Amino acid sequence: MSVVLLQDHFYNCPICGKELKVNNNEGKDNYVQRMYGSFQQFLCFGPLAEDPLHYYSHLTDKNGKANTLSYQEFSMDLGNKSILVAHNFVAQTTLIKVDHNTKPLELFFILSPDFPYLTSFKRKVRTAITFS
């Protein structure tokens, strides 16, 4: 299992650079929290000129591995549709959800984005969706 250590810039949104809101509640409202235990959640809902109304979130383990990124999800606009991308670093998978009515595309590796420059990542996602 590969481990991703948080850098200082992970306390800011990698898409827009704004400071992330920190959610410390112990509630089990996130399915990853229910599966893997107690996490601290970092959130951003912010507009960008090129990618309006983006969403970004990541979770870190609250039990001893505070600098380890366990889960990351974000939405982005592909031009004709908005998608949700979820990286599960514990299971080493990437899920791409195109819409609510279809099963997500599951990749058994981490498809890493180049934040904040998502142009090449968007091409990779479009290719993955086309050939799935």
**Which tens digit of pLDDT belongs to each residue from 40-59?**
788 888 665 455 567 888 88
| 3-class DSSP state of 54 | strand
Whether the per-residue pLDDT at 105 is higher than 70: the answer is yes
Q: What does the pLDDT read at residue 4? A: 45
Which band of pLDDT confidence, cut at 50, 70 and 90, is reported for residue 69? Answer: confident
Whether the per-residue pLDDT at 100 is higher than 80: the answer is no
Task: State the DSSP code for 13.
Answer: -
Q: Which residues contact 26 (CB under 8 A, 6 or more apart)?
A: 38
Task: State the DSSP code for 12.
Answer: B
User: d(Cα 116, Cα 31) in Å, to the nearest integer?
Assistant: 27
Amino acid of residue 108: F
